[in-house]
Structure 1
């Protein structure tokens, strides 16, 4: 049985706000996606930003660690950030493989010696368009079954500017030079993506709804009506893709759960095979 630790990327306040709007934390949502891919997984949740939280079991007992998204910024040296950096360095030292989504990628990069900055272009939301595999990405196990270019669910303001040594970029697009990467740090193998393969569309809709005013203010959407229409399309999708309203707003690549979660499923296969 493969044992996975899901590390919540948000602070306590951030986690509470997401639970209020989406009904579950990012770690809980990630665990649901993992179970949908492989119901046999043994999954524990942990909040490294929370000083009071404790690991459910020693790191050495896990086959892999997943790091979720977050509303935090990794270049801000607040305790909720620095605790997570310290935690991930412990994971690297323990030699446990890591998969990071969005904030998880950024946290991994910084914990391994790289740098993250605000995107000088703008926020990427609600999709990462035309994510393109590099030459290395086309043959990388992380992207097995992906086409050479695809769209993915995304919401992030920050991007990687400096990578850890010997990193292999496996995907990019016009908004981010690093949309997916592999590197080794300590004794650990790290896979990360800047997009959100773990999100269901209604979950993304709840995030857009909660941040509607700021997203419209920064022109991520041209109007409140455009945002409402997108939220309606995502909400109508459900987990099985039935009776989608405004289907033309949603890229084909995000409509099917199997397609959305390819990178996570491939990471779990890697864990099952022993790397």
Structure 2
């Protein structure tokens, strides 16, 4: 494990923000931290990046202790915050070369690294323009490129696509996938559950300063049920007859019945045949597969106990 956190506790005054958080991140993966506002995600990131000391617990990153070997940790990580930390008066290329020189790269190496990153993040056409002329998506891509100049082992991305349009968000997702393919480890916080679903190898859901669930996206979705067919009828009497036929409870919508499904076309045809024979054909049929939104709402709203999957 390239990141190992055990028993993290942190309080601010009388407010307990973290209450025994354990995290384990495998090298070369995307690890997503999800949770509602105030759950403790930012506090975790600040501890992992040496910006804040835990009250109790331990963290090691690439073998370095974040409290006692903070300098070593800073040499192997990079942090990209929610707002782009770029110099508006410099060009995109100048920003990257400057960071390279600050990282003690020689001038030729810094220029070569800048060229590589400008190409990776599709900024070559704008590399000689001042950053103040960049769009929000371009600034965000440049900010991420700057975090890669020193080729860190672990990159912490705090809501990297907030405020971006769909096209810019997709470009960022592709860049993140490329980084992971080259061996970089990504620790991601995001408010977009689709983003975690698309990118993360493992997800941890934080609520009330505790880990309430962890696992792959598919494993987490399975906690809130499997696939379902939503059958809409024209009359409540038809819903009642169909509920009896399939031995399932009625839901909150008086004209819709949810029937568990294995997601196959064969099962769909069997359900429709049974309804036709019973004389209660549905008006419409839609398939519903659990999403991370369902997981998020279920686990943060119900106070369920921690689950590891």
Q: TM-score, normalised by structure 2?
A: 0.27
Higher strand share: 2
